[in-house]
Structure formats: C-alpha cells, structure tokens
Structure 1
Amino acid sequence: MNKNLKLIQLNSEIYEDYLKTGIKLFMLKLGGYINLLIAFVHLIGLIWMVQVFKLFGISKQMNELSEIHSSFPYLLTIVVALVFLVFGLYGLLADDKLPKMPFLKPVIFLIGGIYIFRGLGELIYETTRSKHSTTEIAYSFVALAIGLLYLIGGFKKWKVIRKKITNA
C-alpha cells in the first residue's frame, strides 16, 4: 500500500511539473503558430499579389521593385514567408521533446527582440507623424504581442530548466 502511495505522489509531481512547463511553453508555441499563419498568408497572398499589396499599403514599393525585375516582389514575399516559417518553427520546437533547433535559446530571444524592436519602432514613428496610419499602429501592437510571447515564454522556459538542474 505504501508503494502505491509513493507511485501516486510521484505521478502527481510529474503532472504538476508538466502543467507548469506546458503552460510556460504555451507562449512560445502560440508565437510559433502565429508565425506559421503569417508565413501561410504571405504564400497565399502570392495568388492575389496586386490586391494584397494595395491592402497592406506597399503597392508603390513593390512597383518600384518590379521595375528592377518582375519577379522580385514574388521572390521577396517568398523570402519573408520563409523567415516567418523559421520563426514559427523555433517557437514550436522550443519543447525539448521534439528535434532541437540550433542555437535555440539565443534565437528565441533574438526573435522576441526583433518583434519588440519592430513594434516599438513603428509605434514611435507613427505617433510622431501628424497623419497616423491605424493599420500600422495595429501591426505594431501585433508585433509587440508576438515579441512578448517569445521573450516571456523564453524567460519562463529557461527559468524552469534552471530550477530542474539545481533540484537534481
């Protein structure tokens, strides 16, 4: 009977540890899924390229790019989608149960930093202009949210691992 109680207690500790780790990794996974969605939208947008560029307010820049070579807007969109795909994979594969990505810890924080920098930079720029772009301000908040998912998720993940090492 005492043996069964120890087994139940051990299972309970493992389950509690899983809940703590799982909830903390949720932030990185959510950031990963959002990046995969953004990558997918970029690739789907290739079908309706002109309309998508108008929607996002980058028609002028893409027209200038297409004057250099007609395929450049497509190639740039594919490269951007690949970057979002890699960001997404890092967020999803931060779990130690899956294949480990190279330089996982610094890249997670780098991704978070890129998003925070993009969000704050655009937000500051838009608020200093006399004519604000609501769309750009919204994108800034989305970037800040994704950056916080990566940064906070990364801090929580490696804090948990540090506690596990000291307890071992």
Structure 2
Amino acid sequence: MLYLLAGLADLILALLHVLVAVLGGEAYIFLRAGKVMAAADVAGEIWPALLTLVIAAVFLAWSLICLWAAFKDNYGKAVRVLVALIGGVFVLRGSALFFQFFGLTLFSDGESPVFRDFAFSTLALVIGALHLYAAMRNQRMIASS
C-alpha cells in the first residue's frame, strides 16, 4: 500500500508539471520557477516547457518504479534501493524548509520565501518520508506466489 501511495504522489507531481507546461507564464511564477522562465514562456520560447516536461517525465518514471514495486516482486532489492533514492531526493528538496524557516534562502528572483514555499518544502519532506518508509517496510500490494 505504501508503494502505491508513493507512486500516486509521483504521478500527481508529473501531471502537475504537465499542467504547468501547458498553462505557462503565471503558473511558473506561482510554483516559484522564476520570472526568467515565465518571461521566456510568455515570449514564446520553448525551453521552459521542455524543461518542465523533462521534470514531469522524471516524476512519471519514479511513479512507474513505485507502482512496479507495489505490484511485482521482481528485482525486489533493486527496486527498494531506487525507491529509497527517490525518497532521498525528496527529503533533500524538503530540507530547504530549514533554510526557509530561518530566512537563509532566497529564490531565483532574489525573493524571500512565501507561505507556499513552506508548503512545497513540507510536502516534499512528507513524500520523501513516504518513499523511505515504503522502501524500509518493503510492502507490496500482491504477495509473491
């Protein structure tokens, strides 16, 4: 069940990034990608959407790894290691919360953190902890035969 939840979280993040690539400009600013990306998107440049879609593809791959772990027992140890590494990446991203809380970080545009930055970092920590706990518990939806 834990792998399934982790996979669904990754899938939601992938879909969110696709949505941001489609919406462009203001969505980049809201999600704190920066005014440079937003301005480039508004100017008709393709690289912000491509970069965002690459990130979406990474989240999709992570989702597939977690869903594979949820339903298959093949390569159990390797999948656990991958899920734990994914969890580590999320925890590293979420660790920005510490720096945000103490005002030790600025964003790409030189802006101080706002509430949603704290929410995004907290969410990254929670998703990372979910991945790490799933890998530690090694729970699958279907037991091997």
| Fold conserved between structures, TM > 0.5 | yes
The structural deviation recorded for 1:156 is 0.6
Of Structure 1 and Structure 2, which has the larger fraction of its residues in helix? 1
Q: Distance in 2 between matches of 1:82 and 1:102?
A: 24
Given that residues 14 and 55 in structure 2 are in contact (C-alpha distance below 8 angstroms), is that contact kept between their aligned partners in structure 1?
Answer: yes
In 2 relative to 1, CA 101–153 (structure 1 residues): closer, same or farther, beyond 3 Å?
closer
| Residue 102 (structure 2) aligned to one of 120, 128, 136 | 128
The structural deviation recorded for 1:127 is 1.1
Q: Distance in 1 between matches of 2:11 and 2:123?
A: 14
Write the letter of the residue equivalent to 1:125: F
Q: Distance in 2 between matches of 1:50 and 1:63?
A: 4
Aligned to 2:133: 152
Write the letter of the residue equivalent to 1:29: L
The structural deviation recorded for 1:60 is 1.4
Gaps of 5+ in 1: 1-25, 161-168
Q: Distance in 2 between matches of 1:101 and 1:59?
A: 39
Across the aligned residues of Structure 1 and Structure 2, the Cα RMSD in angstroms comes to 2.8
Equivalent residue pairs, number: 132
1:55-66 aligned within 5 A: 55-63=30-38
State the TM-score, normalizing by the size of structure 1.
0.68
Gaps of 5+ in 2: 105-111, 141-145
The structural deviation recorded for 1:118 is 0.9
- 1:107 equivalent in alignment to 2:82: yes
| Residue 45 (structure 2) aligned to one of 57, 70, 75 | 70
Task: Decide which structure has the larger Cα Rg and report it.
Answer: 1
Write the letter of the residue equivalent to 1:114: V
Q: Distance in 2 between matches of 1:102 and 1:51?
A: 42
Aligned to 1:7: none
| Residue 117 (structure 1) aligned to one of 92, 116, 120 | 92
Moved more, 81-90 or 102-111: 102-111
State the TM-score, normalizing by the size of structure 2.
0.78
Write the letter of the residue equivalent to 2:88: G
1:1-168 aligned within 5 A: 26-63=1-38, 70-95=45-70, 97=72, 103-120=78-95, 122-129=96-103, 131-157=112-138
Q: Distance in 2 between matches of 1:78 and 1:103?
A: 26
* Percent identity over paired residues: 27
Deviations 1:11-62 (A, max 9, x none): xxxxxxxxxxxxxxx1121011011111112112222111211222334131
The structural deviation recorded for 1:65 is 5.9
The structural deviation recorded for 1:129 is 0.9
